[in-house]
Each structure stands twice: as structure tokens, then as C-alpha cells.
């Protein structure tokens, strides 16, 4: 799609330079533009910040008629309209917070062949809920003025994605109702099962997929041991913010609203300038917090994942996860908000086993898929393979021989901090604890299992083997349990209670299998996981 010269090629080039003031395309942008101008359906897959918007904004200007852009968030649309207005590109949005007049005007642009509007931004529920909108859209089409549909954050169609929006399902009607109108989907989610699901839902199976590499060479990745107490976490965060990230801007992601508020308050007490951002703050407060961060009045925002789409700050120098993300896709999106300016930025995750269970019960309660969370755990437990490699494998990508260039903790750590432990004896002892607990009808949480295995807690479920503490620390013990879980030797067993969901641990099918066999299992762990 890039080598050929098209009748529109000269216009594309001059529009890029004169209107967007950009000298050259980034990878796959020109392919996306040429394919959609040729009338092909396509999905563009690029990491955050790569420049997806240009792929539909530029073609929108080349021909008479309208590009209808579907976007999930009003704030995202407002940002886009602002940046288009700065470039003197006429664009409009239509959403629940627009006034009646604004919506009327927007509706009229669909049927008015004199309008100068080139891009009309709408939320997906328009297609499901507004008859007027649909009938005007049909009129626009009949007049030959409907140029294309651009569907931003197109992974929102799929339940497998990390941001499922039920209203996106209705977009499946577009390819049938308007068969000649090209659809251009855009997303930063790369997994192939999400992509094929999206194609199925939009009725464009096998359409062109334009994907750039997801490797972000300027991002440094690191896992840190998460202290057991909130005070301990605050110590770590304080050190990071005061020394490592002095005078730099960043985001701290926390699991819950309560964590967010506690951490923000704790950091403020320690003299740091941080804001707090989550879904239960009103829109006005949220936008003020965002603004103060932009103006560097706040060094960092402590946020839930509600602080996400639409962040357009290029110089985010650090993204710290106080708690793991629910999937590797989520992690990559969230951490990917760092370093959009291409300069070095750091993505640090505080990991500890308890968080696994906090997140897994939430994932389970929301009918999510645990395999995806386990992918995240695999990333955290890894001590041997370059973190970029783990990510590439997760996204079924081959980043070739791309040198990490010492841009992850695994690649900068000398091998001597890693040690190998044999798991046979540990597994046998764990199996004994589980068996005893089952016989006594005691349900084991991960912590209870850990206690009994380390010969603590109720005597009647302890095993008779030696104290594992002689060979491994309790922290390594946590890693062993997490490892056995993602390998299927142990499994989580979820129980609903009136208040919440609890995850207990029992033997997985693989554990049954290896108990009697002469097996040899090895695991690599950190010799020392001191904060550094």
C-alpha cells in the first residue's frame, strides 16, 4: 500500500505538510490512508502515541463529504476537536452532553451538502438509540456524501478486549447497511484473538490489518518487590518520587479508589505534590486535577485505571503500578502512557502475591478470563528473560533481534542475583497441606497455605517435612505458589459470599498427576529482591 502511486498521492503529501505541518509519515500511516481511500475496510493497530488519528483525519480532507468518527469517550472527542480546530479543520461532535442546538446542527450536517464540516464525531450509542441520526446517516449515504466510518478504540467491540463497551456491538450493522462505505478501525490492542473477534463483530472478516511493532525502545521496565504494608509502599514511592523522578511527571496506578486516596494522602504528608483521580470524583474535580498535573503543579497523579484514554501528555517520565493490571494488554496500555515524546521513561511495577488474588477475584466476578491475568503474573515472576521478550511473546510478536539495550531490569541485572530452586520437595509438602485441609474441610486461602507450608498457623494442617524456611524465604515461597498457580499445579476456587468473592486454593489436575511421579521441577527466583 505504500509503494504504489495513486491519483491522490500528491494531495496526501501536500495536506500532510501544509495542514498537519508534518514532514513524513510514521510506519503504516500511509498504508492506512491509501487503503481507506481505495475503499478497503482496514484495522490499524498501533501502540498509544504512534499516530492513529492522522490515518482518518487526513483522508477526511481529500474528498467532499463526511467522515463519521465513532469514539467511546466525550473527553477524547473534545481533545480531537480542539486539535482539529487549531489546524482550521472543520469538525463537530455529537454526544449526550451537547446542547439540543448543537445536536440539531450536527444532525443537519449529515443532510446539508453545503456544510464545510469534514469530520463528525459521535458516540456509539447514537447508532443504537437515535432513529433521527440513523435516517440522516442514510440520507447522507444516498447523496454519496458518506466517505467512511472511522472507529476509534475499536477493541471496545470485543469482550476479550480490556475496555468492552456494549454499545460498540451495534456497529456490526454498518457494513451491511452501507456496504460500499469503508470502515477504518483503530486500536492499541494487539492480541490476535481480540482482532479476529472485532472483525467478526463488525462483519468485516479477514479485512486488511495494518500493525506496527509494539516495541517501545525508550521505555525501561522493572518489577520491584512490593512491601507488605501500605507504609512500606509509601516509603518506596516516596524514594522514587523524591530522588529517582525528582522534577519529573508521572502516574501512579492503584487498584481501588481507597488505595488511591490513601496513597495520595500518605504521599502528601511526606511533602510530595500529588493529585488523586478516580471515577467517583465529579467531572469538574477530575479535570482540575488533570490540569494541575499538566501544569506540573502536581508531580504525579495517583489514579485508578479511570485515568486513561485521552491522556495526551508527551513528557510522562514514569508510570508506577502500585498494583498489577488485570491483563498484559491493560498493563501495556497503562504503562505505554509514559514517554510518548520518545525520550527515556520508566515503567515500574510493585508486585506481591496478595495482589494476584485481589485482582483474580475481581476478574472472576466480572466474568473475565484468568489466563490473561496469569499472563501478567508470568511477566512479574520472570527473572531470566528480557521483559521485552516476554511482552513480545504475549502479543505473538517477533521483535526480531531488537536489542533491549539494558532497558529492562532483567537485562541490567547480573546473572548472579538469580538462583534456581528445585520444587519437588516443596510441591510434595504443599500437597500434604492441601490434602489435610480437604480432609478436615478447611478452605485454604493462599496465605493460609503459605503459613501451613512454612509450619505456622493451625498445627493440624501443617505437613511433616522440613521447614522450607531453611532453604527459601517466605517471599520466594509466595513466588512458588504463584508459579504453581499459573502452571496449573494449583488452582483457584472461587466462592461468592454476601459481601464479596473469595478465592481459595486447591490442587490442580497437574498437581495430582505429579504427586506420584518421579518428577523434576525447577524454578528460577531472585536471590535478593532488595529495592534498588
Tell me which residues touch ligand ADP (CB under 6 A).
Answer: 22, 25-26, 29, 46, 48-54
The alpha carbon of residue 82 and the mean position of all alpha carbons in its chain are separated, in whole angstroms, by: 25
Smallest gap from residue 66 Cβ to ligand ADP (A): 20
The three cell numbers of residue 524 are 528460577
Q: Cell 525528582 sits at which residue? A: 246
Q: Are 153 and 70 in contact (CB under 8 A)?
A: no
Smallest gap from residue 532 Cβ to ligand ADP (A): 32
Q: Cell 484495522 sits at which residue? A: 43
Q: Cell 473477534 sits at which residue? A: 197
Toward ligand ADP, which CB reaches closer, 216 or 322?
216
Residue 294, classed as helix, strand or coil, is: helix
Smallest gap from residue 157 Cβ to ligand ADP (A): 17
CA atoms within 13 A on the CB side of 17: 7
Toward ligand ADP, which CB reaches closer, 115 or 215?
215
Residue 378, classed as helix, strand or coil, is: helix
Residue number with the smallest Cβ distance to ligand ADP: 51
Smallest gap from residue 238 Cβ to ligand ADP (A): 31
DSSP letters for 144-163? T-EEEEEETTGGGG-TTSSS
Toward ligand ADP, which CB reaches closer, 122 or 363?
122
Toward ligand ADP, which CB reaches closer, 189 or 429?
189
Q: Radius of gyration over alpha carbons of the chain, in Å?
A: 26
Please give the Cα distance from 237 to 258 (Å, whole number).
Answer: 17
Q: Which helix (H) or strand (E) holds 381?
A: helix 370-381
Toward ligand ADP, which CB reaches closer, 17 or 403?
17
Smallest gap from residue 198 Cβ to ligand ADP (A): 17
Toward ligand ADP, which CB reaches closer, 22 or 61?
22
Measured at the CA of 249, the angle between CA 243 and CA 253, to 5 degrees, comes to 95
Residue 283, classed as helix, strand or coil, is: helix
Toward ligand ADP, which CB reaches closer, 51 or 232?
51
- Nearest CA to 508 out of 442, 451, 427, 436 is that of 427
Toward ligand ADP, which CB reaches closer, 54 or 84?
54
Sign of CA dihedral 472, 478, 481, 482: negative
Please give the Cα distance from 220 to 301 (Å, whole number).
Answer: 20
Smallest gap from residue 26 Cβ to ligand ADP (A): 4
Smallest gap from residue 123 Cβ to ligand ADP (A): 17
Smallest gap from residue 120 Cβ to ligand ADP (A): 18
Amino acid at each position: 500500500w505504500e509503494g504504489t502511486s495513486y491519483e491522490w498521492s500528491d494531495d496526501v503529501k501536500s495536506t500532510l505538510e501544509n495542514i498537519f505541518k508534518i514532514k513524513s509519515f510514521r510506519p503504516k500511516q500511509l498504508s492506512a490512508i491509501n487503503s481507506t481511500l481505495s475503499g478497503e475496510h482496514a484495522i490499524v493497530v498501533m501502540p498509544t502515541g504512534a499516530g492513529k488519528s492522522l490515518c482518518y483525519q487526513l483522508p477526511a480532507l481529500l474528498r467532499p463529504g463526511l467522515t463519521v468518527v465513532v469514539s467511546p469517550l466525550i473527553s477524547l472527542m473534545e481533545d480531537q476537536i480542539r486539535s482539529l480546530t487549531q489546524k482550521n479543520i472543520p469538525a463537530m461532535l455529537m454526544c449526550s452532553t451537547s446542547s439540543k442546538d448543537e445536536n440539531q446542527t450536527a444532525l443537519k450536517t449529515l443532510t446539508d451538502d453545503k456544510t464545510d464540516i469534514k469530520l463528525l464525531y459521535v458516540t456509539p450509542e447514537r447508532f443504537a438509540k437515535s432513529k433521527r441520526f440513523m435516517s440522516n446517516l442514510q440520507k447522507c449515504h444516498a447523496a454519496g456524501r458518506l466517505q467512511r466510518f472511522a472507529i476509534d478504540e475499536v477493541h471496545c467491540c470485543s469482550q476479550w478486549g480490556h475496555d468492552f463497551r456494549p454499545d460498540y456491538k451495534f456497529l456490526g450493522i454498518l457494513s451491511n447497511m452501507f456496504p460500499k462505505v469503508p470502515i477504518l478501525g483503530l486500536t492499541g490492542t494487539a492480541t490476535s484473538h481480540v482482532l479476529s473477534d472485532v472483525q467478526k463483530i463488525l462483519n468485516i472478516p479477514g479485512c486488511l490489518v495494518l500493525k506496527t511493532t509494539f516495541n517501545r525502545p525508550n521505555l525501561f521496565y522493572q518489577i520491584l518487590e512490593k512491601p507488605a504494608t501500605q507504609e512500606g509502599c509509601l516509603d518506596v514511592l516516596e524514594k522514587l518520587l523524591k530522588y529517582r523522578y525528582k522534577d519529573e511527571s508521572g502516574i501512579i496506578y492503584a487498584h481501588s479508589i481507597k488505595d488511591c486516596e490513601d496513597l495520595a494522602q500518605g504521599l502528601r504528608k511526606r511533602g510530595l505534590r500529588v493529585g488523586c483521580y478516580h471515577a467517583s470524583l465529579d467531572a469538574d474535580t477530575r479535570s482540575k486535577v488533570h490540569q494541575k498535573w499538566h501544569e506540573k503543579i502536581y508531580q504525579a497523579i495517583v489514579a485508578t485505571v479511570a485515568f486513561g484514554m485521552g491522556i495526551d501528555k508527551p513528557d510522562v517520565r514514569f508510570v508506577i503500578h502500585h498494583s498489577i493490571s488485570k491483563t498484559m494488554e491493560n498493563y501495556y496500555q497503562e504503562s505505554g502512557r509514559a514517554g510518548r515524546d520518545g525520550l527515556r521513561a520508566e515503567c515500574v511495577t510493585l508486585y506481591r502475591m496478595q495482589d494476584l488474588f485481589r485482582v483474580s477475584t475481581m476478574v472472576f466476578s466480572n466474568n473475565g478470563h484468568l489466563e490473561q491475568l496469569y499472563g501478567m503474573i508470568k511477566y512479574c515472576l520472570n527473572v531470566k528473560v528480557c521483559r521485552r521478550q516476554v511482552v513480545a511473546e504475549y502479543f505473538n510478536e517477533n521483535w526480531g533481534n531488537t536489542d533491549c539495550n539494558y532497558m529492562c531490569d532483567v537485562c541490567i541485572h547480573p546473572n548472579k542475583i538469580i538462583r534456581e530452586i528445585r520444587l519437588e520437595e516443596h510441591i510434595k509438602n504443599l500437597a500434604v497441606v492441601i490434602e489435610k485441609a480437604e480432609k478436615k474441610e478447611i478452605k485454604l486461602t493462599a496465605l493460609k497455605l503459605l503459613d501451613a507450608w512454612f509450619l505456622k498457623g493451625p498445627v493440624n494442617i501443617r505437613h511433616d517435612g522440613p521447614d522450607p524456611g531453611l532453604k527459601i524465604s517466605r517471599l520466594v515461597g509466595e513466588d512458588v505458589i504463584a508459579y504453581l498457580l499459573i502452571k496449573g499445579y494449583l488452582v483457584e476456587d472461587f466462592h461468592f459470599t454476601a459481601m464479596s468473592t473469595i478465592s481459595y486454593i486447591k490442587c490442580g489436575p497437574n498437581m495430582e498427576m505429579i504427586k506420584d511421579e518421579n518428577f523434576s521441577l525447577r524454578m528460577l527466583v531472585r536471590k535478593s529482591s532488595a529495592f534498588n
